[in-house]
Amino acid sequence: MDNIDGQIYFKKVVDYFENNPKHLYSLIGEMNKDLFYLKIKNRIQENCMKSSEFELSKKELAGLVFELFQETKPKPKKKVQIDAKFVETNFGYFSLN
């Protein structure tokens, strides 16, 4: 990060969440906090490049949490497709109803 003000802001954000772990937990839950901090740092860098405003808005912070959730959420399990509704056994046909 080239901008000193951006570095100071990032350090304050990290210090705030490290000193208030309940607030961090209420924001990101069980997700990876290091990845969250990296996303914040990258967004601050983007903001510094775009304009002189480096602070994150509530909307940007919520967007970062959403991105983090999309990356870390468990993938849904594939559903098993059963082709036959009746299976033949020694006792006759059995329904998988």
Question: How would residue 97 be classed by pLDDT, with cut points 50, 70 and 90?
Answer: low
Judged by average pLDDT, the poorest of 35-39, 61-65, 71-75, 81-85 is: 81-85
Supply the pLDDT for residue 75: 74
What's the average model confidence in pLDDT over 24-38? 91
What's the average model confidence in pLDDT over 80-95? 69
**Phi then psi for 9, rounded to 5 degrees?**
-60, -45
